[in-house]
């Protein structure tokens, strides 16, 4: 059955308030399980206007023109700028995932209910990010990013640590029978994450759906982490496209590899 979102009561520390997450000094969320990797930075912003001006250790993040698809962009630093595929700091290309092995490159996406997914391959110095709404999830964007890592950087699924940030939860993500049927056609386990709510509506669990795809692709279950906070419920922390009719702001998710000396600086 879908979970029920309840705003937590006052707790003694951030980990009680936000299971799986901690608040950075700059006020965004980080996955507690990723603190073991020095030199790698990641985060999920909250409802703050400054998110659009995000800088990480002095670096401006690279964004895509997100189109709810499954295209993965490889971002590499060259003499002419970033990436043979044409992405620069002022020119966005269509896509919903990025991967890079270059230091000092901050990959970022904007979300306001869709699931942000970040990837680290600490031993190989590679990071990736994906924008997984229901369309991207159905298109297996996380599996596409894993395949891109294997092809470009010879990454094995066992090399990867994957984190999922705040998104609309199954408590609130109502979908139609057409979405359920689309998933049933492509996934034998669709009924594990599209369920009937008590009111008879269908609810999609984006985290469970993507966890299933990650495990099927070979990522060890103990290397997959999630922040289980619903963007629709938690209007005190997040913008929500559904709640605000698409007229609100956006959170930013980011990941990168930068020098340890600047990795602990305030980002915003």
pLDDT tens digits, the chain, 268 residues: what are they?
444 454 544 344 444 456 678 888 777 899 988 988 989 999 999 887 665 677 787 788 888 889 999 999 998 765 445 544 445 555 568 899 999 999 988 999 999 999 999 999 999 999 999 999 999 999 999 999 999 999 999 999 999 999 999 999 999 999 999 999 999 999 999 999 999 999 999 999 999 999 999 999 999 999 999 998 999 999 988 999 999 887 888 999 999 998 654 444 444 4
- The domain segmentation of the chain, as residue ranges, is 14-170+207-263
CA distances to 61, 138, 174, 197, 202 from 177, rounded to whole Å, are 38, 14, 10, 13, 7
CATH no., domain 14-170+207-263:
3.60.140.10
In this predicted structure, what is the pLDDT of residue 9? 42
Nearest partner of 160 among 116, 207, 120, judged by Cα: 120
- Cα 100 to Cα 254: distance, rounded to the nearest angstrom: 13
The whole-model pTM stands at 0.88
- Cα 169 to Cα 265: distance, rounded to the nearest angstrom: 31
Burial call 127-165: b when 16+ CB within 10 Å, e when fewer: bbbbbbbbbbbbbbbbbbbbebbeeebebebebbbbbbb
Angle between helices 206-216 and 141-153 (to 10 degrees): 40
- Cα 10 to Cα 148: distance, rounded to the nearest angstrom: 43
**232 Rama class: left (phi>0) / alpha (psi -120 to 50) / beta:** alpha
In this predicted structure, what is the pLDDT of residue 11? 40
**192 Cβ partners below 8 Å, 6+ apart?**
208, 212
């Amino acid at each position: 059955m879908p979970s029920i979102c309840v705003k937590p009561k006052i707790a003694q520390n951030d980990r009680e308030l936000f299971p799986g997450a901690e608040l950075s000094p700059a006020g965004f969320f980080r996955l507690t399980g990723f603190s073991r990797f020095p030199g790698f930075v990641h985060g999920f912003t909250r409802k703050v206007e400054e998110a659009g001006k995000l800088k990480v250790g002095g670096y401006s993040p690279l964004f895509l023109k997100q189109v709810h698809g499954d295209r993965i962009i490889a971002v590499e630093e060259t003499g002419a700028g970033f990436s043979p595929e044409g992405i620069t700091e002022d020119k966005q290309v269509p896509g919903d995932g990025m991967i890079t092995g270059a230091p000092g490159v901050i990959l970022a996406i904007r979300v306001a209910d869709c699931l942000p997914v970040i990837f680290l391959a600490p031993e190989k110095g590679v990071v990736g990010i994906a924008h997984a709404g229901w369309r991207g999830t159905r298109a297996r964007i996380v599996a596409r990013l894993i395949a891109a890592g294997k092809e470009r950087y010879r990454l094995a699924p066992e090399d990867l640590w994957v984190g999922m940030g705040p998104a609309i939860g199954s408590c609130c993500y109502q979908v139609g029978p057409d979405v359920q049927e689309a998933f049933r056609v492509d996934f034998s386990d669709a009924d594990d994450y599209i369920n009937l709510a008590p009111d008879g509506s269908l609810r999609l669990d984006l985290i469970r759906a993507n966890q299933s795809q990650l495990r099927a692709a070979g990522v060890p279950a103990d290397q997959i982490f999630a922040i289980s906070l619903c963007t629709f419920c938690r209007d005190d922390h997040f913008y929500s496209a559904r709640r605000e009719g698409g007229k609100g702001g956006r959170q930013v998710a980011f990941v990168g590899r930068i020098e340890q000396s600047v990795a602990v600086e305030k980002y915003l």
